[in-house]
Amino acid sequence: MSETLERPQTMARGTVETWLKRFEAVCAAGEAGAAAALFGEESYWRDLVAFTWNIKTVEGPDGVRDMLRAVLPHVRPRNFRIEEEPTEAGGVTESWFTFETEVARGRGHLRLKDGKAWTFLTTMTELKGFEEPSGERRPMGAEHGAAKDRKSWLEKRQQEAEELGHATQPEVVIIGGGQGGIALGARLRQLGVPTIIVEKNARAGDSWRKRYKSLCLHDPVWYDHLPYIDFPKNWPVFAPKDKIGDWLEMYAKVMELNYWSSTEAKSAKFDEATKTWAVTVERDGKEIVLRPKQLVFATGMSAKANWPSFPGMERFKGEQHHSSQHPGPDAWKDKRVVVIGSNNSAHDICAALWEAGADVTMVQRSSTHIVKSDSLMELGLGALYSEQALANGVTTAKADLIFASLPYRILHTFQIPVYDAIRERDAQFYADLEKAGFMLDWGADGSGLFMKYLRRGSGYYIDVGASQLIIDGKIKLKSGSDVEEITEDGVLLKDGTHLPADLIVYATGYGSMNGWVADLIDRETADRVGKCWGLGSDTPKDPGPWEGEQRNMWKPTQVENLWFHGGNLHQSRHYSQFLALQLKARQEGIPTPVYGLQESFHKG
């Protein structure tokens, strides 16, 4: 029996070792064409910084050849080693491996079909000579012996806080101190990159605290850890917003971040001569000009409110606000509320308003993808992010890389069966929703929530109870008609329906992150960057051409020394590593020739 079990593993190891040795040899010889011949006709190489100083996917042997011709002379990849026992299933052999380049160490994942690469992931894990001081390299902390005028840890921290941004300048300024800015700030701190995080709110975590009171994370705890410090073992699966806010505040403090709260960025301008930014901020009633080399917008993909411009908004006599400004339901008991929108925020707000005794109507203008939370946890995330996954040896870091190893071009093919199973499992639920008049969709190709999120960042709701309120008629629903105008006392729809309202909530989503660039720098610079987010899938709200990676996120842009960092907690954690390594390399003067710099599209 043992021989039967061992044979596939041994064969898999031999297959992988043969491929890696051949790949290393032809790369060392500079034979890009021979390396490309090791990839199947349908193949994908996703590189996170290690080869391209970019986040880039190339496709097919031609894409591999062109990339390697450009990068092999300076990358010099070598020492490819299998990291754990390869596996084989369904004609696909999989293996984790480590490798080195001239300046870095990395980790990767390989899938082979018929002896040739189908998917190939390469990621930079650390820069040689600039490794993080962790594990065996952790700092001593205590300084044994005697020394005159010795400064304590607290005195050193106080001195740093007093001088940085005044007597000394940061290498990096991060605009936005939410989860993204904090995660990136922690990575940069560990790499020794002087950084200031600028946040307009009074406390770290306020971007969560100030949202509507019923808000909880819809993603589970295993998916949401920050770098270096996991949530405690007794942390709830779905954390309430104020609990997350407190965690972020604690994290910013214990990770020793230079966090400038109650500070508002007013403007930024790049000096071509000195290659530095002049970032004007207002702090304690005074204007301060920071002069970093690198500027990161970590303002969040859900931060720049997308206000609609319906006729008559100015004459409405009640209260109206965007969902991002919604304080909660308490003031609206026995009042009439119209919520325009049908995605996550709209559902959450409607449910809380109903609980508080409001008469609430949801206006659904276009179809929405709905997935029940328990079904998503079990069928969509359980294999990678759950207690079961941890028991199977799938740590958060490993889960992140497994997910990263699936190229976006084919990711939907892995997602469609998941959502087919969910549709079958919850068939009665969906039938009841449609009977109530709710317009459902499953994404442009039936691939469900994750692809909608990656393509457009909207168009879905993870159901934690609001859908049943719609089914039961407790949340009133008006679907299939857009807004004609806002009247003095309500909302007039194009089908002639008038919805009386004391409050209108516009749950109408958020704009592209380059809108912040237009506000703080200028429109021309924002247009040079182009749209942030989306893959170029040519599906609704994700216009082509195909990019194959998230546009302008976590990688170089068309504007020198300008970066974007954002996404959910998972992405903030995972991609902060690769952005931090790019910024560290530039600080240290390591050459960073970027392969495949993304073009700018969709500038408005």
Q: Quick one: pLDDT band at residue 8, thresholds 50, 70, 90? A: very low
Look up residue 387 and give its amino acid.
E
Q: Quick one: pLDDT band at residue 33, thresholds 50, 70, 90? A: very high
Bridge partner residues of 295 (DSSP):
173, 562
What is the rounded distance in angstroms from the CA atom of residue 78 to the CA atom of residue 72? 11
Helix (H) or strand (E) holding 42: strand 39-48
- Reported as a single tens digit per residue, the pLDDT across 373-423 is 999 999 999 999 999 999 999 999 999 999 999 999 999 999 999 999 999
Look up residue 439 and give its amino acid.
M
Q: Quick one: pLDDT band at residue 302, thresholds 50, 70, 90? A: low
- Reported as a single tens digit per residue, the pLDDT across 512-527 is 888 899 999 999 999 9
Q: Which residue has the tokens 């996703």?
A: 46
Q: How many CB atoms lie within 10 A of CB 158?
A: 12
- Reported as a single tens digit per residue, the pLDDT across 534-547 is 999 999 999 999 99
* CA distance readout (Å), 586 to 171, 260, 566, 589: 10, 24, 21, 5
- Reported as a single tens digit per residue, the pLDDT across 454-492 is 999 999 999 999 999 999 999 999 999 999 999 999 999
Q: Quick one: pLDDT band at residue 511, thresholds 50, 70, 90? A: confident
Instruction: Report phi then psi at 403, rounded to 5.
Output: -65, -40
Bridge partner residues of 164 (DSSP):
168
What is the rounded distance in angstroms from the CA atom of residue 130 to the CA atom of residue 59? 32
Q: Can you give the pLDDT at residue 9?
A: 54
Q: Can you give the pLDDT at residue 2?
A: 39
Mean pLDDT of 241-263: 97
- Reported as a single tens digit per residue, the pLDDT across 12-32 is 999 999 999 999 999 999 999
4 pLDDT above the threshold of 70: no
Tokens at 232, concatenated? 């405690």
Mean pLDDT of 334-353: 96
Q: Can you give the pLDDT at residue 530?
A: 93
What is the rounded distance in angstroms from the CA atom of residue 592 to the CA atom of residue 293? 15
- Reported as a single tens digit per residue, the pLDDT across 55-105 is 999 999 999 999 999 999 999 999 999 999 999 999 999 999 999 999 999
Which one-letter DSSP state was computed for residue 499?
A: E
What is the rounded distance in angstroms from the CA atom of residue 185 to the CA atom of residue 580? 8
- Reduced to 3 states (helix: H, G, I; strand: E, B; else coil), residue 448 is helix
303 pLDDT above the threshold of 70: no
What is the rounded distance in angstroms from the CA atom of residue 486 to the CA atom of residue 477? 18
Q: Can you give the pLDDT at residue 146?
A: 78
Q: Can you give the pLDDT at residue 1?
A: 36
Mean pLDDT of 255-261: 98
Tokens at 548, concatenated? 């194959």
**CA-based torsion, 224, 228, 234, 239: positive or negative:** negative
- Reduced to 3 states (helix: H, G, I; strand: E, B; else coil), residue 28 is helix
Mean pLDDT of 564-588: 97
Question: In sequence order, which ranges of 394-426 are alpha helices (DSSP H)?
Answer: 396-404, 408-425
Bridge partner residues of 294 (DSSP):
172
Instruction: Report phi then psi at 146, rounded to 5.
Output: -120, 140
Angle at CA of residue 457, ends 454 and 461, nearest 5° = 110
Bridge partner residues of 269 (DSSP):
278
Residue 243 neighbours by CB under 8 Å, 6+ apart: 236
What is the rounded distance in angstroms from the CA atom of residue 435 to the CA atom of residue 505? 25
Look up residue 126 and give its amino acid.
E
What is the rounded distance in angstroms from the CA atom of residue 78 to the CA atom of residue 391? 33
Q: Quick one: pLDDT band at residue 576, thresholds 50, 70, 90? A: very high
Decide: residue 597, CB within 10 A, 0-12 exposed, 13-18 middle, 19+ buried: middle
- Reported as a single tens digit per residue, the pLDDT across 156-190 is 999 999 999 999 999 999 999 999 999 999 999 99
Query: E-strand spans in 447-589?
Result: 460-463, 476-479, 483-487, 490-493, 498-500, 503-506, 562-564
Instruction: Report phi then psi at 109, rounded to 5.
Output: -140, 140
* CA distance readout (Å), 275 to 249, 278, 514: 33, 10, 21
Concatenated DSSP letters for 243-300? Answer: HHHHHHHHHHHHTT--EE-SEEEEEEEEETTTTEEEEEEEETTEEEEE--SEEEE---
What is the rounded distance in angstroms from the CA atom of residue 175 to the CA atom of residue 571? 17
Q: Can you give the pLDDT at residue 6?
A: 46
Which one-letter DSSP state was computed for residue 473?
A: T
Query: E-strand spans in 513-573?
Result: 562-564
